[in-house]
Amino acid sequence: MPLSPAIESGDRSHAVTPVESVAQISTLLEDTDPTLDPALAEVARQAAADGLVLLHNDGTLPLAGRPVAVFGRVQIDWFAVGYGSGGDVKVPYVWNLLSGLRDAGVAVDAATAELYTAWCAAHRPAFEGTWGQWPHHFPEMPLDPAVAAAAAERADTAVVVIGRAAGEARESVRAPGSFHLTGDERAMLDAVTASFPHTVVVLDAGNVMDLSWIADYGDRIGAVLYAWQGGMEGGRAVAAVLAGEVSPSGKLTDTIAWSYEDYPSAANFGDPDANEYAEDIFVGYRWFETFAPERVQYPFGHGLGYTTFDVTVAETTVDEAGLRLAVDVRNTGAAHSGREVVQVYVAAPDGRLGQPARRLAAFAKTGELAPGAAERLELAVRLDDLASYDDSGATGHRSAWVLEAGHYRFLVGTDVRSAAPAAVVTIDELRVVRQVSEAAAPSPSAPFRRMTLARDEDGRAVVAWQDAPTATVARAERITAGLPAETPMTGDRGITLDAVAAGAASLDEFVAQLSAEELALLARGDVTMHSALGAAGNAGVLGGVSPSLRAKGVAPVTTTDGPSGIRLSAYASLLPSGTALASTWDTALVRRLTALHGEEMIRKGSDVLLSPGMNIHRDPLCGRNFEYFSEDPLLTGRMAAAVVTGVQSNGVAACPKHFAANNQETNRTRNDSRVSERALREIYLRGFEICVREAEPLALMTSYNQVNGVWSHYHHDLVTTILRQEWGYAGCVITDWWMEEAVDPDFPALADNAYRVRAQVDVLMPGGVKTEAGPGDYADDTILESLARPDGLTLGELQRSARNVLRLVLALKPVIDARSLEA
C-alpha cells in the first residue's frame, strides 16, 4: 500500500497512512490510540543517535551553543525512513530537524527558518501516488546567495541538510536528485560555504549516495554527518548530536567509494533479466581493501566522535578453538564522553581458494566513557567461523568448509583501514571444518566467469578470472531420496491443538486427523491482505484460516510488515531503518529496542513481524538497502540475531527476509541472481545462517527473485538442503507476497503450490493466486490436484509442512490465547 505524504503541522511533520476501504476491514483489535510507549520512543531515539556516522569534523561540531542558520528544505520535509512495506507505518508523529534543533535548545536563525517554513508550506512534496513511484528527493528551494550572506551576519555556522529517499520496487538511480546532487543543491552549498566560516552538512538518507563533491569544497565544509534515516525520533536524534547532548558513535556498515563505477557490482547490476555476481566473494570492502584501496573515500567501519580513544590489545589467548582478545579502550579526550567500537579483522592466507585482504571477524562496543575512563572489551573469534567454502575442489575437498594451512593474521582497530596487527594464528595443515553437499550451484545452461585473486611478480593482489563451477548433483534423485513418510490419516478423533500444547497428545496425532483439504489450507494464508481474521490492516493471516481448523484449536496468526514498524491500520511506532540500527554496532541496544517493539506487537495485534530485512548491500543503488544492514555478512547476521532475539523474547515471532540474494528491486519477481556457490554461502547466506543458528527465528520468508534459475519459493536446495538439513532449521517458511507460476522441471505432476510444498516452503502468503492482471483473491487447487496423482505431491510432504506451520501456531499460542481472553 502506498503511504500518503508527510503533512507539516507546526514544527513537526506527521506521517499518516490512510486505510483503504476501512468498512471492508475487520474492526477486530483495531486500535485508534495515537499514544506510543515512551520507553520505546526513548530507546528508538538513542538507537537513531548512536547510528549516526560523523564522517568528517574539523572541530565545528558540536555546536556548543553557537547560533546557526539552517539551509535546505529537508530540515522541515524530513525523510524519516524509506518507502514501501519497510516504512509505511501509521505513525502519530515524526520529528523533523528544525523542530529537533529547537527542542535541543539550539539558537536557530529565525529569519532563515521562517523563509524555509513558508517556502515548504507553499511547495508541498508531490507524491505520484503509485506504488513504486516514490520520490527520490524533494526539489530544493533556490537559494539567493544574498540570503546566505545576510544569515552569515547573524550566525557564523551553517547547517546544510540534503535528503534522499529510496524504497521498495524502485532503485536509486545515477542521476541528480538520487545518487548525485541536483544543481540547486550544489548552488546552495556554493552560496553557504562562500558566506559562512563554518559549514556542517547533514545527509538525511537511507542509502549510500555519491559524496565525491565533499572534496570539492575542501576546508569550507567543516563537518559531515551521515544521518541514516532514524524513524519518528530521527530528527531529535540528529539535533542532539549536533548540539553535543550526545556524542556520535556510529560506524559505516558500507564502503563509500569515490564513484559509482568503483563498486565491483557496477557492471552487473540492474539488468531486468539476470545479474551475474561476477565479483564473487569480493563484495564491498573485501574488494576495495584487496584490489582498489585508493578508490575508497570513507572506509567500512569508519566513524568519528567528539573525543579520542586509545585502543590497546591487553591480552591474547589462542587455543585450538580460536582466539580471545582483551582490548582496553580509554577515552583520552578532555572535554567529551563517548563510545567506541572495536573491530577485529582477519587476513587469511591466499591458499588455493583466494581470500580478501581483510574480513570482519568480531566487534564490540564500549559503554559511555567519560574523559579518562576506560573499559575492557572481550572479543572472541572461532577459527571454524573463518572457514571458506570450496565449490570447485581446488583444495581437494569439494563442497566442504575448509581452513587452509598458513598464517591467519588478526588486526584490531576502529575501521577496516586503520586496524593494526594484533595476533597471528598458524594452521599447519588444511582442516576440513564441515563436509556438506553441493547445493544451489549455478546452472550449466547459464555459465559465467567470476573474480578470484592472483599475485603479480611483486606480490601485489591482482584480479584473475575463472569459470564459476556449475551444478553436478542430480536434483531429482536428491529429492526422491528425502521424501518423508506419511502419517496414516485417522479422521477426526477430537484431538485439539490445546491438547498438544498441554502434552496430552502428540503433534503427529493431531496432524493424522487432518483431511487433505485442511492440510492444503494450512499451506496457504487467508487469500488476501487485510484478512478479517486478524488486526485491521494486516499483511495477511495464516494457520486457522478455515472454520474446521479453528474448531480444532488452530488459531489464526496475524502477520505484519515490517522492519521499521508495525504496518497496520492502528497507530504504531516508526523505528530507525535497518542501516541506522546496524550503524550502531550495538547488538545489546538493538535487542533492547526490539524487545520493546515486541511488546508493541502484542498491544497492536501482530503475531509475526516480517522483519528483519537482511539482504546484503551488494550495490549502493538497491532501493531497499535502507531496510537491510550492511555489505558484510557477519555484521548482518549479528544484527539480525539481535532483532529476532528481542522480538521473540515476548512470545511473538520475527520473520527474517528475503531468503536469498534479493539484491535489486528492478524486475524483482523475475530477475535471476546468478551467483557461485561459494559467494552464495559465504556472503549472501552467511548472515541468515548466523541468525538461524543463534536466534532460532520462528518464521522465515523467501525472496521474489530466482537464484541460479530457480525461484526461491521453489528452491529445494536452498530451503531443504541448506536451511533445514544443514542448519537444522525447524521453523515455518513462508513466501514473499504472492509467487510466480512454474512447473517442477523434474516432477511434472507438481506445479505452483505443490512445487512449493515439495521445497518445504510451507505457506503461500497472503494466500491468493497472482494473475496477469495482478494479485488475486482466490486460491488454486494445485496441491489437491497433485496429491491425487500417483507421481504428484505426497501426503507425507504436505503433513511435513503442516507440522512446520503448527509448530509456529503452538509457539504463539500463549500470546494469542491471552489476547482472546482480553477481547
319 is a domain residue: yes
Q: Are residues 330 and 400 in the same domain?
A: yes
pLDDT at 770: 79
40 is a domain residue: no
pLDDT at 15: 29
Q: Are residues 429 and 481 in the same domain?
A: no
Report pLDDT digits (tens) over 703-720.
999 999 999 999 999 999
535 within 8 A of 570, measured Cβ to Cβ = yes
pLDDT at 30: 67
Q: What total of structural domains would you count in the chain?
A: 3
Q: Are residues 688 and 637 in the same domain?
A: yes
How many CA atoms are closer than 13 Å to the CA of 809, on its beta-carbon side?
A: 27
Q: Are residues 497 and 593 in the same domain?
A: yes
Q: Are residues 570 and 485 in the same domain?
A: yes
Over pLDDT 90: what percentage of the chain?
A: 92
Angle at 496 between CA 491 and CA 497, to 5 degrees: 120
Nearest alpha-carbon partner for 635 in 351, 278, 255:
255
Q: Are residues 727 and 679 in the same domain?
A: yes
pLDDT at 244: 97
What mean pLDDT is reported for the chain?
A: 94
Rounded to whole angstroms, what are the CA distances from 157 to 71, 337, 425? 11, 23, 50
From 88, 391, 586, 736, active-site residue? 736
How many CA atoms are closer than 13 Å to the CA of 545, on its beta-carbon side?
A: 30
466 is a domain residue: no
70 is a domain residue: yes
Residue with cell 503475531: 607
Name the band, by pLDDT with cuts 50, 70 and 90, for residue 723.
Answer: very high
253 is a domain residue: no
444 is a domain residue: no
For residue 17, pLDDT over 70 is answered with no
Q: Are residues 384 and 489 in the same domain?
A: no
272 is a domain residue: no
Q: Are residues 645 and 707 in the same domain?
A: yes
Phi, psi at residue 684, to the nearest 5°? -90, -20
For residue 771, pLDDT over 90 is answered with no
**Mean of pLDDT values over 423-430:** 96
Name the band, by pLDDT with cuts 50, 70 and 90, for residue 24.
Answer: very low
Give the C-alpha separation, 640 to 451, whole Å.
Answer: 29
Whether residue 736 lies in the annotated active site: yes
pTM above threshold 0.85: yes
Out of 49-63, 115-129, 165-179, 255-269, pick the least confident.
Answer: 115-129
Q: Are residues 499 and 415 in the same domain?
A: no
Report pLDDT digits (tens) over 478-504.
999 999 999 999 999 999 999 999 999
Residue with cell 514498524: 565
23 is a domain residue: no
Report pLDDT digits (tens) over 542-577.
999 999 999 999 999 999 998 999 999 999 999 999
Give the C-alpha separation, 637 to 633, whole Å.
Answer: 6
Name the band, by pLDDT with cuts 50, 70 and 90, for residue 129.
Answer: low
Domain termination site, one of 388, 418, 436: 436
Q: Are residues 375 and 504 in the same domain?
A: no
Q: Are residues 548 and 682 in the same domain?
A: yes
Phi, psi at residue 184, to the nearest 5°? -65, -35
Name the band, by pLDDT with cuts 50, 70 and 90, for residue 21.
Answer: very low
Provide the residue count of the chain: 823
For residue 20, pLDDT over 90 is answered with no
CATH (domain of 365): 2.60.40.10
Out of 12-26, 64-78, 350-364, 625-639, pick the least confident.
Answer: 12-26
Domain termination site, one of 208, 233, 248: 248
Report pLDDT digits (tens) over 580-623.
999 999 999 999 999 999 999 999 999 999 999 999 999 999 99
CATH (domain of 744): 3.20.20.300
Give the C-alpha separation, 280 to 675, whole Å.
Answer: 7
Phi, psi at residue 163, to the nearest 5°? -120, 150
Range of the domain at 317: 300-436
Q: Are residues 410 and 485 in the same domain?
A: no
What letter does residue 484 receive in the DSSP assignment?
P
CATH (domain of 241): 3.40.50.1700
Rounded to whole angstroms, what are the CA distances from 285 to 421, 445, 618? 18, 31, 11
- Between the two ends of the chain, the Cα-to-Cα distance in Å is 28
308 within 8 A of 333, measured Cβ to Cβ = yes
Domain termination site, one of 207, 227, 248: 248
